[in-house]
Structure 1
């Protein structure tokens, strides 16, 4: 029973999230005590479901771009031809962690305008570091004996990378992607300050109208999405590790 309890709790959370996004008015009695002066208890300036889907789309696009760039950089600096670029690559991927997302948005808006684009830039830069560092760790800790065995079997450098090194480092890489996604889910809310369609709209509307119900529902939706996606990626990570024989 104990083994099934976490899964049962996650399924209940998913069911509650789907129910709230589909029919938020069902939950109005629970949120009503958080409002003042007859203010609406449920966000009524747009569809919560649409905002959640747009929020996830923005995170997905930024994360996909971060994966491509970060993994490519990690592969480059672990090859003899690109080893000298490791310090430069580390400096580049640290940019997103050095500059606050708000500062990135402020710099990006004059260049690309308001909307989703500056948010994508901020999330992309912010998501590079964990993916790059984890991929780098996975590639540099691949047992040399396995690589030598693959070379002895006649595999080319490309074959060793795609059939041996990357599969072996996949669990570590997925851990970096998981961290990047969770960071982006939370950070994407600030995109609404530059007119991006995210769940930040709900939080900002609550702050502007002093409506705690709006702030709470926006924050809880983002938190629920983060927990569910974190668990899903953790499950993929464990599956990849078992497939590679790294865990029992």
Structure 2
């Protein structure tokens, strides 16, 4: 039997896809929010294509942050790399120390306008939650399991790939989920430096005093964040249950 929560998620997904594919259907609902003769549905580009580009930027930045953050966590949990833990923490905290707007302002003179400054900002901002969760996952493994792996004659590399990372994966995925949700919202500011994101819709609404545009961009980002958050959370639960078997 489908739970009410899953029905609600399905409803959000259906409405989101309908709006992206046929936004004109929702014009009557949004018309009270605009001034007379002002456009109701965003008309400076395709909402579907902007959503795809928005997700693409978030995906690239999250993948890069995951590779770097997990690699650093693995390094500092090895005997030869424990002394690098303070340095690693300082590095991953850079993104939280500098606001994304400041990172954009510093990146534009070097990389120019467009997608690159946004990717750098999202990458730096996403490092900390993934690193801390990967560190927690790798340092809280059951000692008996690690000893059993050693007793079975596994090398350190085999223990890492076949035992430690699979067991730590649910916790690592929690960090990735937090990073993705943060990036989905933060990516909207990329449009201030000419990156193609849903922030373009929000900025156009603010410039034209068109509340319907602002609402469209904000609700699409919110719906994506909720759906992706819940999907990743379901994956975490499935992996956690599998690791306990």
TM range (shorter): over 0.9
Structure 1: where are the runs of 5+ without partners? Answer: none
Structure 2: where are the runs of 5+ without partners? Answer: none
Cα distance in 2 between the residues matched to 1:38 and 1:89: 55
User: RMSD of the TM alignment (CA)?
Assistant: 0.9
Cα offset, 1:36, TM superposition: 0.8
Cα offset, 1:11, TM superposition: 0.3
Correspondence for 2:99: 100
Correspondence for 1:17: 16
Cα distance in 2 between the residues matched to 1:221 and 1:135: 30
Correspondence for 1:128: 127
SS in 2 for 1:244: helix
Cα distance in 1 between the residues matched to 2:213 and 2:187: 17
Correspondence for 1:74: 73
Which residues in structure 2 correspond to 1:1-248 (within 5 Å)? 4-245=3-244
TM-score relative to the length of structure 1:
0.98
Cα offset, 1:173, TM superposition: 0.4
Cα distance in 2 between the residues matched to 1:65 and 1:112: 18
Cα offset, 1:228, TM superposition: 0.3
SS in 1 for 2:101: helix
SS in 2 for 1:232: helix
Task: Give a deviation string over 1:158-186, Cα, whole Å, max 9, x none.
Answer: 00001111111111000000000000000
Cα offset, 1:37, TM superposition: 2.8
TM-score relative to the length of structure 2:
0.99
Greater than 3 Å deviation, 4+ residue runs: none
